[in-house]
Structure 1
Amino acid sequence: MRVHGEDFCADLVLCLRRYTRRQRHHRCVHPADVSTSRELKEPDVDVQDALIGHRIREVRRWRRLNLTVTAELAGMSAGYLSRLERGERTVNRRSILEALAQALRVSPTDLTGQPYEPTDPVSSEAHAALARMEIVLGELDLGTDPGVRARPWAQIEKSVDHLNTVLRRDADYAGQGQLVPGLLTELHAAYVQQPEHRGDILVGLLHAYHSAAVLTKNLGVRGLPILAARLAEGCARELGRPEWTAFASWLRSHAAGSLGRARQYEMSVRAVDAVVVRDANAVQISGMLHLNAALAAAAQQKADVVSTHLDEAAALAGRLPEGAENFGFLYFGSDNVGIWRVSLMTELGAGGKVAELARGVHPAALPARARQCMYWTDLGRALITERATRDEGIRALRRAEEIAPQRVRNNPFVREAVSGLLRSSRSEAGRRELRGLAWRMGVAPTQ
């Protein structure tokens, strides 16, 4: 793997994995096994090992960089970095994580510890599918028959619809992991064997590659999200429809985001400038590209630029006719822009003030549980940064977990927040909701 122009040494991977695993000697627990009537015991290890700051210190020492130099490279004070490494502060924003990853010349996932070891049977199934996903993404070529007999298009189409309307909607990583590799293989076979359906098949491939890119990205696997997005771009070029070309550009910038925010911003702006907004589909993909640009700006702490793109997205959402098709199953609209606004203000460090913005947002109006989960996750992350709203923030995180558990348990910022709260206050750690979250995520051991 090549990181920032140099070969990534396997010794670093081993170093990171060894200490990550030290605190994970607990058995796999299914969420249903956590009884509401049973007291969870206090963690018996130092949960600082689960914090990103611990990994930062390990990598910094491995790089033989002193604290002052690293802090300067990351654009922060040495005192602040020291508090991060000691676990007195948590890494709660993309801007901090990515600045430190760049300073240390590693990927952000090397500091978060992703992909995380599964903590329940469902998570195990999701991770088990990643090996097959890698094989499929590396082997399939558009126009080359993979050697399987494809079902009739009507049956394949039902599988694509199930992927979009059930598995992706619910952030069911295990279900997607089981379906997508085989579905991609069959779609490539159908492309060759059923030329009369090629237009529909190419759209199906775009949906399947979308799932592959987002699934592998959210599970913290490097390389595969970009590969899936690049393959989607090839399908979009073959399809030759402007809205799907823009969709593929959106997917690529989304998949590549954490590896280069300036590049993500550039790609998003260039793609949105190329869209001719003539119909509802073009409105929706333009809006999503503006949201991508806003995220890239937020990760660089450019609040004015964030505001500009959020306003553009909101204006586009206002132009959508009632009953418009949900293009690309992206759920673009006023409610989704509101959810993004909460997320982006959380990234900009607005803290408890995010609650004011959240009052006008209606996440339940979106049928996508993944989007509802995003709202409650980021609201919770914002609220726990202030003591007065900390309990409310923990409840928001718990609600997010109830909505889409696989997504929340693989979110590095939620894990960081929970680990930090467990370490900072024993009275906080004693609360059932916080301790239960930590247990189910694997950041505190079972007894």
Structure 2
Amino acid sequence: MYDDGNDVGRRLREIRSWRQLSLQVTADLSGISYGYLAKIERGEKPVTKRRTLEALAAALRVSPVELTGKPYTPVAKDDAETFAQMTALGDMLIGWWVGEVPDTPARPWETVLVDFDRLNNELRPGSDYAAQAAMLPGLVRELLVYAADPQRKTDALVALVQAYHAAGALAARLGFAGLPTVAVERMRSAAELLGDPVWVAASAWSRAHLLSSTSRPRQYQLAVRVADSAPVERPETRGMANLTAALAAASQGDADSARTHLDEAAAVAEQLEPDVSPWPPSMMNFGRTNVGIWKTSIGVELGEGAKVARYARGLRLESISTSRQAGFWADYGRGLLAERKTREEGLGAILHAERLAPQQIRSNTFVREAVFGLLGSARRDAGGRELRGLAWRMGVVPNG
């Protein structure tokens, strides 16, 4: 299945025409040069940074999701299965508040815990979106039932906080607008019902982390608040809040603040013994390895290009989840694609990321844009056949 143009360029042209804005006016409003904007629309240049995407969306007065076209039309069978389950997940999140008790019986607690452990130890680390979407509606429903049981209430609420975060993260990655906000609100309610400052802070971080890209200044504000106030018993939350603040700053072009928060996160990571903290399971993955991965992502956002290779030195990727490994290879590859001499290596990194977590990489807007940008030279480059195969699996149109 192929689209009739690259995701961002075509939609940008359509929305700009609908707004009756000229290329020059749109360029002026977004702070992007006329020439670069014209090349984006023609599919000659990819959108490689969040800052560019969000500036264009702001100029056209739409959400960035309107430009990316998410959620993308399913191409593979597992993508279609995931989308089919997302309606049930949305109904579960919207239809039930924390404290309400579904009128269907739950399985034995031990059986529910088996699914919860599988979510945290297999499905989320492995980026199995289809299995997560299939499991989460029923899991949340049963945890709500047990949250009303005095004997299981505390354990069920702790599990609900994590399940709601998983639901919000899944919806955000797939581009189901609105659902991350609902999931975060449910997460906050569960944490406040627990009355535990540690989980309240974790839910506050999740709010900042999953905040829509239409409000980077607010995301930065919320993340800094968590970084400054989270309980010292769990430094992981303060560390992740600094990483979220770093990305929010980088997405606004504030390199100094981004690097300051990266340094603060690195200092927090040094307080932990393992490279990746096991708390909370699969929710944060905080530690020295993840700080290095975020440095790579933020370096790409700040335009460091192939220089992001320096962040790969010494990273113990085997210590972190497959999902985070795939995220690293995707951003590392995008950085290498910025220079012709490292372009083939960059494509290899993205292909490796796809092998690790295919659904995750196929739904990554900036990987899709990078692939589309490479298609024009596919016939000349050594990696042309592999590139066209990747484009076909993503549903990205071949160029020429």
Q: Which TM-score tier does this pair reach, normalised by the shorter chain?
A: over 0.9
- In 2, the alpha carbon distance for the partners of 1:355 and 1:317 equals 21
- 1:286 correspondence with 2:242: no
1:85-142 per-position Cα deviation (integer Å, ceiling 9, x unaligned): 1222110110000110111111111111111111111111111111111111111122
Query: Within 2, Cα distance between the matches of 1:144 and 1:362?
Result: 43
Select the residue among 86, 91, 109 that pairs with 1:130: 86
**Helix, strand or coil: the match of 2:103?**
coil
The root-mean-square deviation of aligned C-alpha atoms, in Å, is 1.6
- Alignment correspondent of 1:242: 197
Shift of 1:152: 2.6
CA distance 1:370–1:132, change in 2 (3 Å): same
Does the Cα contact within 8 Å between 1:88 and 1:424 map onto a contact in 2?
Answer: no
Q: The residue matched to 2:325 in structure 1 has which SS?
A: helix
Kept after mapping to 1: 8 A contact 2:378/2:385: no
The structural deviation recorded for 1:430 is 6.6
Match of 1:146 in 2: 102
* Alignment of 1:381 onto 2:334: yes
1:215 aligns with 2:170: yes
Separation in structure 2 between the aligned mates of residue 406 and residue 173 of structure 1, nearest angstrom: 7
What corresponds to 1:332 in structure 2? Answer: 286
**1:225-254 Cα deviation digits (max 9, x unpaired):** 111111101111111111211111111111
Match among 373, 384, 396 for residue 431 of structure 1? 384
Structure 1 outlier segments of 4+, above 4 Å? 322-325
Q: 1:354 aligns with which of 288, 291, 308?
A: 308
The residue that corresponds to 1:318 in the other structure is 270
Q: Distance in 2 between matches of 1:429 and 1:182?
A: 47
How far the C-alpha of 1:420 sits from its partner, in A, is 1.2
1:379, distance to aligned residue in structure 2 (A): 0.3
- For 1:317, the aligned partner's letter is A
- Deviation of 1:308 after TM superposition, in Å, equals 0.5
The one-letter code matched in structure 2 to 1:118 is P
- Could you tell me the TM-score, scaled by structure 1's length? 0.86
**CA distance in 1: counterparts of 2:166 and 2:231, whole angstroms:** 26
User: Which of 420, 431, 434 matches 2:373?
Assistant: 420
Q: Deviations over 1:395-442 (max 9, x none)?
A: 000000000001000101111111111135532397222111101101
Spell out the pairing of 1:264-283 with structure 2 (5 A cutoff).
264-277=219-232, 279=233, 282-283=234-235
- Conservation of the 8 A alpha-carbon contact between 1:376 and 1:397: yes
Q: 1:299 to 1:396 in 2, by over 3 A?
A: same
Which digits, 9 at most, give the CA deviation of each residue in 1:357-380, with x for residues without a partner? 2223222221x1100001000001
C-alpha offsets along residues 167-199 of structure 1, whole Å, 9 cap, x if unaligned? Answer: 00101100000000111111111212x221111
Give the SS at the match of 1:276: coil
How do 1:60-139 residues align onto structure 2 when only pairs under 5 Å count? 60-139=16-95
Q: Assess if the C-alpha contact under 8 Å between 2:306 and 2:339 holds in 1.
A: yes
Preserved contact between residue 277 and residue 285 of structure 2 (Cα < 8 Å): no
Change (3 A) 1:120 1:86: same
The alignment status of 1:444 with 2:361, answered yes or no, reads no
CA contact (8 A) 2:277 2:287 kept: no
Q: Which residue of 2 aligns with 1:263?
A: 218
User: What residue is the counterpart of 2:361 in the other structure?
Assistant: 408
The 2-side partners of 1:118 and 1:97 are apart by: 23
User: The residue matched to 2:151 in structure 1 has which SS?
Assistant: helix
1:276, distance to aligned residue in structure 2 (A): 3.1
| Alignment match, 2:251 | 299
Give the number of the structure with larger relative contact order, counting CA–CA contacts within 8 Å between residues 6 or more apart. Answer: 1
Q: Distance in 1 between matches of 2:378 and 2:138?
A: 47
Instruction: Provide the C-alpha distance between the structure 1 equivalents of 2:368 and 2:382, rounded to a whole number of angstroms.
Output: 14
Runs of 5+ consecutive residues of structure 1 not aligned to the other structure: 1-20, 25-46
- Matched to 2:259, the amino acid is S
1:182 pairs with 123, 134, 138, which one? 138
Structure 1 match to 2:156: 201
Q: What is the distance in 2 between the residues matched to 1:435 and 1:421?
A: 9
Do the aligned residues in 1 keep the contact of 2:249 with 2:258 (CA within 8 Å)? Answer: yes
